[in-house]
Amino acid sequence: MSEPTPGKPGPKYASYDGFLKTAIETYWAQRKNQVHFVALLLASREAWEVAWGGVTAPGTGKKVLTGAAGATAVVVALRLLVGGPIGLVLTGVSIASLGAVYARNHRRIWAQQERYRKLLGEYRVKYEQIRGNWIEGRIEEHQRDLMIDGLMNRLLDDIDEEPAGLEGDKKTSREERDER
């Protein structure tokens, strides 16, 4: 994570997109919960907007990713996301393993996406309030930096929080067959 230099703020201080990119990079580097990471990438509207570039119609991404070739589509999407807007350095093995994580946990990942979308929307508002206060001169640069750093830490903690009901919803394929 780059630290701001005098006169030039770091990316997380300059815009919400920079803040989100830094959060995703930090999450990958520190937390390594692959299910949450994939759900976060898929829920991040900024990442999808850049990756898909308006090529698909709204909602199409989800239909493609929940179809028979979902894991393959996720691997392709992850290559686009991490190679472009996110810019993480992931090896082909890492991307393939994230595709496998998606294949095993796709229901859980899609269930978490809505929570992450809402969470990212809430943090966008909080970020813009802090940045607005700084632009209007109500807080100084060092105060803005501290507030954004704290906001980043809270976001990372909230991402790690397991939503109620998802932990116990993991059923084996045998349990699913028995219910039919």
Q: Where are the domains of the chain?
A: 11-165
Mean pLDDT on 123-144: 96
> In the prediction, which pLDDT does 154 show?
96
The Cα–Cα gap between 157 and 160 comes to 5
pLDDT at 129 over 90: yes
Separation between Cα atoms, residue 79 and residue 52, nearest integer Å: 12
Q: What is the dihedral of CA 1, 112, 79, 28, to 10 degrees?
A: 30
Flag whether pLDDT at 46 surpasses 50.
yes
Give 179 or 32, the one with higher predicted confidence: 32
* Residue 20 · residue 49 · CB < 8 Å: no
Average pLDDT over residues 144-156: 96
What are the structure tokens assigned to 30, written together? 């520190």
Burial class (CB in 10 A: 0-12, 13-18, 19+), 12: buried
CA dist., res. 112 & res. 121, Å (int): 14
| Averaged pLDDT, 11-31 | 83
This prediction's pTM: 0.65
Q: Torsion over CA of 148, 150, 155 and 160, rounded to 10 degrees? A: 150
Q: Give pLDDT, residue 62.
A: 46
Residues 6+ apart with CB under 8 A from 90: 28, 78, 82, 98
